Amino acid sequence: MIKYTVFPDYFSLSKAAAERIIRQIKHNPLTLLGLATGSTPIGLYARLIDQHRRGKLSLSRVTTFNLDEYVGIPKDHPQSYHVFMQKHLFDHVDIPPARRHFPDTDKSGTQYDLQIMRSGGLDVQILGIGANGHIGFNEPGAAFDSKTRVVELAESTIRDNARFFDHSDEVPRQAITMGIATILQARHIILMANGANKAAAVAAAFQERPSVNVPASCLQTHHSVHVLLDTAAAGDLS
């Protein structure tokens, strides 16, 4: 089942997404969270940090599994998702380092999926969406039964990401990502999108029949998805 909520702006969208996560953690302090990177969840993370600083939220027993990471740049590269998570969440809250997980080419993707399963499965997976409809780094064409694995990035994703790197030849061509099947195993999924550049992807994902050409459309097959949009990202929905 998919529930949609449209918010007037990014701030209220982020606040609502954070409240959903905070409720989950208060209900079950041992929550397993699937985390996303990209600009979209930064407001959500900022709100979690704020609540933690005010003494209203502890994440000391939460376990996290990140969706994806680039292949071919070191973990301490300023654009790595390890560094992103440190900067936007981990450095400011009390999630113990041993409870934070990333997919890693040192291990097989299967090991990552097994680790998630053995830890009890993801309670909530947070997702953004790429302008081409990707989730994690599952690019158009990714099979709906795919598991965590190394993937080639789409040319459009490489172009979208180029602005974050000094030279275009520095932009990673590959990533390791949770598979679509891995994501769909989460008990609940929240997908956030803001800005007009996401409107077409959102409409293709939720208004057309599910298709591997639009990876996020796989979410139509899941039993508990909440799509949080700002008015611009909802602009192409009828």
Report strand pairing: 63-66 vs 32-35: parallel
Residue of the chain from 130, 133, 172, 179 that contacts ligand GLP (CB under 6 A): 130
Active site residue 19: no
Location of structure tokens 């953690």:
25
Q: Which stretch binds ligand GLP (CB under 6 A): 15-23, 31-39, 52-60, 84-92?
A: 31-39
- Spatial separation of the C-alpha atoms in residues 147 and 145, rounded to whole Å: 7
- Is 128 near ligand GLP (CB under 6 A)? yes
The 35-64 contact track toward ligand GLP, x by CB under 6 A, reads -xxxxx------------------------
The answer to whether the beta carbons of residues 237 and 15 sit under 8 Å apart is: no
Q: For the packed helices 10-27 and 42-53, what is the interaxial angle rounded to 10 degrees? A: 50
What does DSSP assign to residue 195? S
Amino acid at 100: R
- Is 136 near ligand GLP (CB under 6 A)? yes
Residues 150-169 that bind ligand GLP (CB under 6 A): 157
Contact residues toward ligand GLP (CB under 6 A) are 36-40, 67-68, 128-130, 136-137, 157
Residues annotated as catalytic are: 68, 132, 134, 139
